[in-house]
Copies of this chain bind each other. A is one copy, B any other.
Amino acid sequence: MRDQADTRTRIQEIALTLFTEQGYEATSLREIAEALGVTKAALYYHFRTKDDIVASLAEKRLHAVEELLAWAEKQPRTEETRRELIRRYADDLYSGRHREIMRFFERNQTALKHHPVMGKTRERMFELITFMVEPGDPVATRLRNSMAVLALHAASFILDEEVPEEERRAAGLEVAFDLLRR
């Protein structure tokens, strides 16, 4: 019982790592199984298909985004709300393995393009971004405000390892807030 949860979770973890490092298509179930020390067939006991492993990962992220969205929808559309949204988004990103999952998304866009869970996630992300923008805003403003979210991600892939994580996060937030203020 403990074991099941453990194996399932371990599959997810190893899969996430390998998918992110090598790509979804370039990672075979054999590799995942070998890294785990089990047979390929064992993976199929825990997940119906290779796709299902990915889905289970994507769902974790989807839930986080949906919760954020649910919260946002109950707030007034003020600048302070937007700033708080950015703050919460960053909190998510730096907790759990969300940054890794996002990187997995970024790096496997084509492989995931037609995945149902991804479609939903994309939609929700768009709704989130819509939240950053006032209807009628000029195009440049829309771009700038949307890029606020992007800044949080960029902070961890543009600034590389020499900068400590905490500083990266702070820089991301600073630039994001900057972009928000027109």
Contacts and interface: CB of A to CB of B under 8 A. Distances in A.
Interface stretch (A2-10, A51-59, A145-153): A145-153
Contact of A23 (B25, B143, B146): B25
Chain A binding surface SS class: helix
Interface in A125-182: 129, 138-140, 142-144, 146-147, 150-151, 154-155, 158-159, 163, 167-168, 170-172, 174-175, 178-179
Contacts of A111: 23, 25-26
Given A159-B143, A178-B144, A21 B154 contact: no
A110 interface: yes
- Which of A146, A158, A163 has most chain B Cβ within 10 Å? A158
Nearest to A19: B110
Given A111-B26, A168-B139, A175 B147 contact: yes
A153 to B, nearest CB: 10
Given A147-B175, A171-B139, A109 B110 contact: no
